[in-house]
A and B are shown apart, each in its own frame.
Chain A
Amino acid sequence: MSEELIEPVKQLIIDALRIEGMTSSDIETDAPLFGEGLGLDSIDALQLVVAMEKEYGVVVPDAATGAKVFQSVRSMAAHIAEHGK
């Protein structure tokens, strides 16, 4: 189930963060989203929290959960698959 969400999650990242000049194929599924990977920060993370809730009804309740969920595209997809409505 979470494998099917990989591409939509990549697109959600691109759309929510208004990343210009990038397609889903440019985002590595297992690369870190923060720091060395896609280079996201806490401002981006909150934007993704809201986008995930709007698109999938999934809540990221606290910072500790957020740290696990936003490790990679795969972990985001897994969280949505587990908690999505």
Chain B
Amino acid sequence: MADTPNTVSLTIDGHEVTVPKGTTLLEAAKTIGEDVPHYCYHPGLSAPAMCRLCLVEVEGAPKPMPSCVTTAADGQVVHTQSDLALSRRRGVLEFYLVNHPLDCPICDQSGECKLQDYVHQEGRDHGRSREPKRVFGRDDFGGDVLFYGDRCVMCTRCVRFMTEMEQDSRLTVVERGNRSVIDTFFEEGLEGTNWSGNIVDICPVGALVSKDFLHKARAWDLEHTPSICPSCSQGCNISLHTRDNLVQRLKPRENMEVNGWWMCDHGRANYEWMNHGQRLEAPLVRTEDAVRAMGWKEAVGALLDRAETTSGSVKAVVSPFASNEDLAAVRSLVDALGGGSMVYRMARADAEVPMDGFPILARRRDLAPNGRGAEIMGASRVGDDDGVGGLDDVAGHDGVVIVLGDPLVDQDASFGQSASLFAYLGMHGSPATGAADFSLPITNFAEQEGTFTNHEGRVQRFWPGLRGPGAAQPAWFVLGAFQAARSGDPAPRSAADAFAALAASEPALAGMTYDDLGARGAVLNETVSVPGG
């Protein structure tokens, strides 16, 4: 019996299950850890119940029911593993293999393929088809998408994604019956769409693959690290898929409050920079006669010495790609050195690129992940919408100049020449960093743990998927060591420590901890008026 009018109780595989009214049997089965095989069903799309793979036995029903559209009812007795259910699903799986090319050795999906998984899980030992297979061949859909028609299981997730989510019906099923094939309008392709990379993700088999990822890595060789997309201020939850200390691809990670299951093509494609070589690998310190590479201890010591003898106000340039922890460390430094200004520069697109079928999701205008975080730390945006300019009064400043993460590509070698102290904490050197007294190698977001604050004020964690180059360290770690040496207070030993210190000092983040943020993030305290909010 129902506990409340809004729930129903039923029995699935012998387990009593209580779920909200309207829950499908497939979702209800998940609550007991039973993942009923399915292709066409995707929780973010309409359910056509056409793959027929999710058939389960419902006592009293005249035939096996598709669990993706059958809603749970009070007192229902459902068997997902009965002879009838298994036999019907085995039959469906055999049908899938009649025309499938079984080209797993050369298929990118191999290892993360639902056809492989399900056949292994509950399919027949061997297929009985002796007939010649149907051949469709390969079709370049444009954008990053390549279509292998022979591998397709006709689940139409891709067609429904384009129609329901992107709301640009570029894909369709052409022909009917066994001749059915997914296609675009002849040569029209997917060119000019903004979200079509998602169809590669939701394709349960290797029919839709990424051209960028084609034959690049085997799925089982990839490490998955939860992260946040750094390409705009939406803060899409993603995974970094890495191998050999290189990011191989980005994949969206479900978060219903931010990006659902999706991410945009712009963000998906923008990862090569994370693998960029030519990094600063050791602290470089300008001494009287030369620039010398040093160990961290020596470099921090030298910085301490310089800081003691340096005067003048501080002007800091920070990056909206830096984590909250790193930004907070710079702010502390600025304060410790007597105070001054903080600015950041950020590219801004002309318009948002919304996803019509999931209205909270858009490629935002701000093309960096943490402009909001920089604002909260007291930085103001300068420069133009290309993310350059605006540093005239910093370039010639005669006090302390601190630069975090901004590679100053638009500046020339005169930058910081007049500064009493010019410390550059960055990934790459450039002509404009040549005058730096200290060039300190720091890690990028993919190489460290930290948090970003997205456009709506959601603080979200990311984890390190890559090892930083050489001696590079997170900026919070470097500056934390500096501050500790200066004040005698203990240095933060982890990103969590750094965040805890931040939460303690910044009202907007008060009360947040890494544990609470988890993998889903939390929104800033609403009662606090947030700059840039």
**Chains A and B bind each other:** no
